[in-house]
Amino acid sequence: MKELAIELNNILKDSCVYDLLGKKGKNMYFPKGIVAQSAEAGEKAKRYNATVGLAQEKGEPFCLSDIYSSFVPGVLSKKEIFSYAPGGGDKELRAMWKKAMVEKNPTLEGKLTSTPIVTGGLTHTISIIATLFMDEGDEVVCPDLYWDNYQLIFEDLAGGELKTFSSFKDGGFNVEGMKKALMECKGDTARLILNFPNNPTGYSPSKKEAEEIVKAVKEVADKGKKILVISDDAYFGLFYEEETEKESLFSRFADAHENILAVKGDAATKEEMVWGFRVGFITYAGKALGAKELDALEKKTLGAVRCTVSNCDRPGQSLLKIGMKGSEYDKDKQHLFDTVGERYRVIQKTLEAYKDSKLLQPYPFNSGYFMAFDTMGRDAEELRQHLLSKYEVGAINIMGRTLRLAYCSVEKENLEDLVRIVYKAAEEIWS
């Protein structure tokens, strides 16, 4: 093990983090190599900077003129488009994201968290978490209705196992099932990932359910289990009902218990409507973590970024800063919220006419981009193929028993027809 990794592990040894780190996580460190030395030179090398492999002329990077001319003249410099971004991301953007995170989650005010590190999108964030905090055979607890990329990351890539529980009980989130699954995790550690608004169902917990979720996890932690709680906040902010919890669970878990390490994965992808930019963030907090421990975790995370993508999309980060500072920012965000919120209300109302169906049953949904049907033991893939071939309607089959509709991508006036076609197709193949 490298000396730098040993130093970081020694800092983390007295907290729950050390027990939660996997072998790769314990071995991880941020090398004092090219990136670190270049960053230091960027601040101190005032005469000549011969560190980074970036060809320059008169202080600006070389570039293809046809690419540069595609940008609005005078808005971004060549450096803001073509230069490498710092390993942890643009410093100003990281500070902006942290400030916005606290504004969106007032419960975080005054709580100690790391500064968000930029990743190559939320998938990259979750992959980093799996790299740092999992060994082969480790279990990750999650609801049984989950984003299919979890399987690829946690099982196929990291060699772990998804330990699922029924997502819903009595029309709401199954807190009891979650707690039972955590208690049954092997050994003295457990890993939990919660995605709200949920993909594929579009469900978020109520304020009361959020309290119950945190209480249940704390009760497991009280029994001595060290717990990694991952908040996958990909669709954060799209909450349409008054009783729905409007803050990330990360806000509550940030100082919930000495045995809990909270990780927040979020991204500009959906929150700032820049789907193709691939700019995500990873943030840490924990009651047992001080500034030194958070700094050590950041360095391990920087190492994980370094050995995967080296650094993240520079033009995306530069453009994102412009967007977040822009005069139209609040207006554009509100327009998205209002438009998708209207579509949510239309599809909720439309589904009332089909409440007695014995073929398809909507799962509870109240937020995000999606709603999903329980196909009641029938093959969702069969229905998906029939919708595509006969009606030219696209939907997603989830694990053969769930059909997901992304109502966010369908105009409001077409949603009633979409639902009608789905139920008609189900009758044609299953009645």
Q: Which CATH architecture has domain 3-30+85-325?
A: 3-Layer(aba) Sandwich (3.40)
pLDDT at position 5 is 96
pLDDT tens by residue, 144-161: 999 999 999 999 999 999
Give percent of the chain above pLDDT 70: 99
Decide: helix, strand or coil at residue 397: strand
Q: Please, what sign has the CA dihedral across residues 291, 292, 297, 301?
A: positive
Whole-number Cα distances in Å, 74 to 70, 193, 226, 277: 12, 43, 51, 21
Q: Is the pLDDT of residue 108 over 90?
A: yes
Rounded to 5 degrees, what angle do the CA atoms 168, 174, 175 make?
165
pLDDT at position 34 is 65
Interior/surface letters 379-414, b for 16+ CB within 10 angstroms, e for the rest: ebebbbebbeeeeebebbbbeebbbbbbbbebeeee
Residue 44 pLDDT class (50, 70, 90 cuts): confident
pLDDT at position 35 is 67
Structure tokens, 183: 């208690």
Query: What is the rounded average pLDDT for all residues in the chain?
Result: 95
pLDDT at position 430 is 96
Q: Is the pLDDT of residue 397 over 70?
A: yes
Cα–Cα distance measured from residue 146 to residue 131, given in angstroms and rounded to the nearest whole number: 20
Q: Give the pLDDT mean for 257-263.
A: 98
Q: Give the pLDDT mean for 369-395.
A: 97
Whose structure tokens read 């920087």? 302
Q: Are 375 and 399 in contact (CB under 8 A)?
A: no
pLDDT at position 53 is 82
Give the start-to-end residue ranges of the domains of the chain. 3-30+85-325, 33-83, 330-430
Strand partners, 192: 141, 229
Structure tokens, 129: 């978490």
Q: Give the pLDDT mean for 317-322.
A: 96
Q: Is the pLDDT of residue 3 over 90?
A: yes
pLDDT at position 223 is 96
pLDDT at position 206 is 97
58: left (phi over 0), alpha (psi -120 to 50) or beta: left
pTM: 0.94
pLDDT at position 33 is 67
* The CATH classification of domain 330-430, taken from the options 3.90.1150.10, 3.40.50.11540, 3.40.50.2300, 3.40.50.720: 3.90.1150.10
pLDDT tens by residue, 50-99: 777 889 888 899 999 999 999 999 999 999 999 999 889 999 999 999 99
pLDDT at position 39 is 72
Cα–Cα distance measured from residue 347 to residue 146, given in angstroms and rounded to the nearest whole number: 22
Helices 329-351 and 314-325: crossing angle in degrees, nearest 10, is: 90
Cα–Cα distance measured from residue 58 to residue 78, given in angstroms and rounded to the nearest whole number: 11
